[in-house]
């Protein structure tokens, strides 16, 4: 069985694309982040990913698959497993009926616990295709508990001085997780519209939030925290308010760069991706005999080779490694 990498992973023998950014006939959408989606004719996805994508797929004919529910083709079985990255996120395990060989495609994963995501599972495989977003040894995150404790202490400090805290997280996944933690800690939370809409989908899917939260419509009661995506939405939301303090929660906080264009007043490492050590541990858990890393740093593959795993990094356009059209022999 062969695999082709070309802005998405292609399995020719199933005529199946995994997270292609171009419209395809049959395409797995591992989760509802826009850098993994296209309007395929027949997208394969979990019921919760379908819920989150809403009208996006209104012209498609989706194939919804529960976790662990096998999809049989003449030569292969495809099964989805929870990825822990956001609601509905899935990994795909493709098993050959003739050889028994197993390919695991992770999509984006998160291995740390989350109150709002289905917990990740780690099915054993022979060939692993894994995302390597933070696949560089300098990305080692502190514990979530420590980061959250720092975040809560800082927010309370700002509120005690009459300041207005903005917590920035990406619209889908991170923000609903942060919302859950903030409500558990007893904060009053105003929620920017796009995050609010996704949070309603989470509630529809059965995710419990400890207390009420409000849609932000320009009224920002003193003493409450505003949860908002970074960038323009955040700048627009805080216009006209005094004493605004910004907290960004992103794994890139460790890099010291200006990932979101502006440094927050507090910048804390909190991610919905694994850090370097967690990536290596995940590879060890699923016990592959061949590894391909995608969508991140090539350092992870280099490290895995030094640990004895045959590992190759497949880069996107514009990076230095081998690029599109890479043929991988599998199974």
Q: Which residues bind Zn ion (CB under 5 A)?
A: 33, 108
Smallest distance, Å, CB 272 to Zn ion?
Answer: 7
CB-wise, 108 or 248, nearer to Zn ion?
Answer: 108
For residues 209 and 180, is the Cβ–Cβ distance under 8 A? yes
Residues 6+ apart with CB under 8 A from 136: 276, 297, 299, 300
CB-wise, 33 or 102, nearer to Zn ion?
Answer: 33
- Whose CA is closest to 226, among 251, 209, 205, 243? 243
**Which of 214-245 are b and which e, b meaning 16 or more Cβ less than 10 Å from the residue's Cβ?**
eebeeebeeebbbbbbbeebbeebbeeeeebb
Smallest distance, Å, CB 278 to Zn ion?
Answer: 15
Smallest distance, Å, CB 97 to Zn ion?
Answer: 31
> Residue 137 CB: number of other CB atoms within 10 A?
14
Alpha-carbon radius of gyration of the chain: 20
CB-wise, 32 or 266, nearer to Zn ion?
Answer: 32
Smallest distance, Å, CB 31 to Zn ion?
Answer: 6
Smallest distance, Å, CB 294 to Zn ion?
Answer: 13
CB-wise, 37 or 246, nearer to Zn ion?
Answer: 37
Smallest distance, Å, CB 107 to Zn ion?
Answer: 7
**Which of 156-189 are b and which e, b meaning 16 or more Cβ less than 10 Å from the residue's Cβ?**
eebbeeebbbbbbbbbbbbbbbbbbbbbebebbb
- Whose CA is closest to 199, among 224, 219, 169, 232? 169
CB-wise, 87 or 128, nearer to Zn ion?
Answer: 87
CB-wise, 18 or 226, nearer to Zn ion?
Answer: 18
């Amino acid at each position: 069985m062969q695999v082709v990498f070309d802005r998405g992973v292609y399995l020719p023998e199933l005529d199946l694309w995994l997270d292609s950014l171009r419209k395809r006939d049959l395409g797995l959408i591992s989760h509802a982040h826009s850098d993994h989606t296209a309007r395929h004719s027949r997208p394969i996805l979990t019921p919760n990913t379908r819920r989150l994508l809403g009208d996006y797929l209104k012209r498609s004919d989706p194939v919804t698959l529960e976790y662990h529910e096998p999809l049989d083709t003449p030569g292969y079985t495809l099964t989805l497993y929870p990825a822990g990255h956001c609601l509905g996120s899935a990994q795909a395990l493709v098993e050959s009926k003739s050889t028994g060989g197993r390919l695991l495609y992770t999509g984006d994963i998160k291995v740390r616990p989350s109150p709002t995501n289905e917990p990740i599972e780690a099915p054993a495989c022979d060939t692993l295709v894994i995302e390597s977003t933070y696949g560089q040894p300098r990305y080692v995150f502190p514990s979530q508990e420590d980061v959250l404790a720092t975040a809560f202490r800082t927010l309370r400090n700002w509120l005690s001085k009459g300041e207005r805290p903005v917590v920035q997280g990406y619209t889908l996944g991170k923000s609903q997780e942060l919302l859950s933690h903030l409500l558990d800690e007893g904060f009053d939370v105003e929620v920017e519209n796009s995050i609010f809409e996704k949070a309603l989908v989470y509630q529809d899917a059965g995710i419990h939030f400890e207390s009420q939260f409000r849609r932000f419509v320009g009224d920002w009661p003193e003493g409450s925290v505003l949860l908002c995506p970074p960038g323009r939405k955040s700048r627009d939301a805080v216009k006209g308010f005094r004493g605004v303090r910004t907290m960004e929660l992103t794994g890139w906080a460790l890099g010291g760069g200006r990932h979101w264009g502006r440094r927050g007043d507090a910048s804390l490492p909190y991610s919905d991706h694994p850090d370097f050590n967690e990536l290596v541990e995940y590879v060890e858990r699923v016990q592959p005999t061949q590894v391909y890393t995608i969508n991140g740093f090539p350092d992870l593959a280099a490290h895995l080779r030094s640990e004895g795993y045959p590992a190759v990094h497949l880069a996107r356009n514009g990076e230095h490694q081998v690029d599109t059209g890479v043929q991988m022999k599998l199974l």
